[in-house]
């Protein structure tokens, strides 16, 4: 901040430069945390004798009053005061003369670093809750449709039968890793830089333990130069939410595909679709498409902050003002994406018949046939070759592998016709359930009993 005729500068900043460097329009969202840090700092100054007891009381009352004004939308932000810190300090000093002493022993450098750490802890707590809500929505859908069977895909080609619940549990697992990364990022942010000053602490006898305890930080920063220039905790947050965004994008893509007429496995509730300005029959999965698109913003914000930091010398540089807009936008983006996806998933209607139709082709049990041949004594590569040859033979004859005669199978693998028939016998539902049951002994496989157990365990965990 520069004041005409006072301090180091004789004149005002160039208007273009002042406008260019202004940040109050976006960093005012740190006001709550700035006030919280200021209350703790004032209390500490009082205990070490820099402020009198009455001065501390007056300052804290003034800060409390300003917080109420901000919450009510009555606080007047001034662009001329550049940032959130100077706005709040000026407003306090105007009403409380002792407010001019509040900045004793601190700099905007350690002040903003503290504000950001307070803010990110609160933000992450809300993000963790939003992740849990999406996990709950996926689990509820899986529990409701736990016996629905559909194809599992590789290369977007039908591979093997799985349950719909098993498919959604894959995303519950992804989201749990996202949850863990955010918890880890919060641990790294739980370090208080306040008291580091501009870069070299203070000659005053400050007691940093007092504000640490008041602000509930786990530990104090141990190097004042690192404390004011460190933004690793923001990079970690952006990395965590960028990967969360990628997972949401993958979920959105699956649901977009599954809700298309070509798949028709699921249908979004009307509240999460839009129409076409030209084609009256359309119901477009726009919310899922937006979530898929917004993942690009999250990745971009991570790259942006890494690029800002990569060439900075110690300690604070004004480049660090660029950390806030990308982090704030990423925070808003990931929270809204998680919230809308949770509600969109809860709105889904599942067409069990369409899923069964897609998974009924006996070719999806080709691997099961190969496994049966292995159990009967064939080496796996030989079994793989036999089943592949049977699929090719069926295609050439315009039929399916379950309709090939025992003689055909015997010609491909002597004595194995009965083994194959045991796998492919019965109706599509019968053989699919048999195939899933055969996976019961394998942890993590999509057996009906195994998936039911996983649903119960996850339901307890996310509560």
Nearest residue to 146 via CA among 127, 129, 165, 128: 165
Q: Is 57 a catalytic residue?
A: no
Joined tokens for residue 87:
């706005």
SS3 53: helix
* CA neighbor of 56 nearest in space, from 37, 38, 42: 42
Indicate the DSSP class of residue 414.
Answer: T
Q: In terms of DSSP bridges, do strands 149-154 and 157-163 run parallel, antiparallel, or are they unpaired?
A: antiparallel
Residue 11: CB atoms within 10 Å: 9
Distances (CA, A) of 461 to 110, 165, 244: 38, 17, 19
Contact in structure between 390 and 367 (CB atoms under 8 Å): no
Residues in the chain: 463
Per the annotation, the verdict on 221 as an active-site residue is no
Q: Of the candidates 278, 324, 283, which has an alpha carbon nearest to the alpha carbon of residue 305?
A: 324
Give 152's strand partners: 160
Residue 315, preceding peptide bond in cis (omega within 30° of 0): yes
Q: Are 228 and 196 in contact (CB under 8 A)?
A: yes
| Rg of the chain over all Cα atoms, to the nearest angstrom | 31
DSSP letters, 274-303, are B--SS-TT--B-HHHHHHHHHHHHHHHHHH
**H/E run at residue 163:** strand 157-163
Distance CA 231, CA 329 (A): 16
Is the N-terminal amide bond of 343 cis, ω within 30° of 0?
A: no
Active-site residue, from 80, 276, 440, 449? 276
User: Are 39 and 47 spatial neighbours (Cβ–Cβ below 8 Å)?
Assistant: no
Instruction: Please give the angle made by the CA atoms of 13, 326 and 1, to the nearest 5 degrees.
Output: 20
DSSP string for 248-264: HHHHHHHHHHHTSTTT-
Q: Which residues are catalytic?
A: 155, 276
């Amino acid at each position: 901040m520069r004041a005409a005729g006072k301090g180091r500068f004789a004149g005002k900043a160039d208007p273009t430069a002042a406008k260019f460097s202004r940040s109050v329009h976006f960093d005012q969202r740190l006001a709550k945390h700035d006030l919280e840090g200021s209350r703790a700092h004032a209390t500490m100054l009082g205990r070490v004798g820099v402020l009198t007891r009455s001065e501390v009381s007056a300052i804290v009352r003034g800060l409390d009053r300003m917080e109420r004004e901000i919450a009510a939308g009555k606080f007047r932000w001034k662009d001329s005061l550049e940032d959130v810190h100077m706005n709040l300090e000026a407003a306090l000093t105007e009403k409380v003369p002792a407010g001019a002493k509040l900045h004793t022993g601190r700099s905007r450098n350690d002040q903003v670093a503290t504000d950001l750490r307070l803010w990110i802890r609160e933000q992450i707590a809300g993000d963790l809750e939003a992740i849990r809500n999406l996990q709950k929505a996926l689990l509820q859908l899986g529990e409701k449709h736990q016996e629905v069977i559909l194809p599992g895909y590789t290369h977007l080609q039908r591979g093997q039968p799985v349950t719909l619940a098993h498919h959604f549990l894959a995303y519950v697992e992804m989201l749990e890793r996202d949850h863990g990364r955010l918890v880890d990022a919060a641990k790294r942010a739980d370090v208080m830089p306040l008291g580091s000053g501009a870069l070299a602490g203070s000659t005053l006898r400050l007691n940093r333990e007092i504000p640490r305890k008041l602000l509930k930080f786990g530990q104090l920063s141990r190097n004042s130069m690192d404390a004011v220039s460190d933004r690793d905790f923001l990079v970690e947050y952006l990395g965590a939410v960028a990967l969360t965004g990628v997972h949401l994008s993958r979920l959105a893509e699956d649901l977009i595909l599954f809700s298309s007429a070509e798949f028709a496995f699921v249908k979004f509730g009307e509240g999460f679709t839009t129409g076409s300005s030209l084609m009256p029959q359309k119901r477009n999965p726009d919310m899922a498409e937006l979530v898929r698109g917004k993942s690009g913003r999250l990745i971009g914000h991570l790259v942006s902050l890494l690029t800002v930091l990569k060439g900075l010398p110690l300690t604070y540089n004004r480049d660090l003002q660029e950390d806030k807009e990308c982090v704030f936008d990423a925070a808003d983006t990931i929270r809204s994406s998680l919230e809308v996806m949770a509600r969109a998933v809860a709105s889904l209607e599942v067409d069990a018949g369409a899923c069964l139709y897609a998974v009924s082709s006996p070719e999806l049990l080709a691997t099961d046939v190969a496994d049966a041949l292995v159990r009967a004594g064939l080496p796996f590569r030989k079994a793989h070759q036999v089943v592949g040859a049977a699929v090719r033979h069926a295609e050439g004859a315009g039929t399916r592998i379950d309709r090939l005669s025992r003689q055909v199978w015997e010609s491909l693998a002597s004595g194995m016709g009965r083994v194959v028939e045991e796998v492919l016998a019965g109706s599509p539902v019968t053989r699919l359930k048999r195939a899933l049951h055969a996976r019961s002994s394998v942890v993590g496989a999509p057996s009906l009993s195994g998936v039911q157990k996983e649903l119960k365990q996850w339901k307890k965990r996310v509560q």
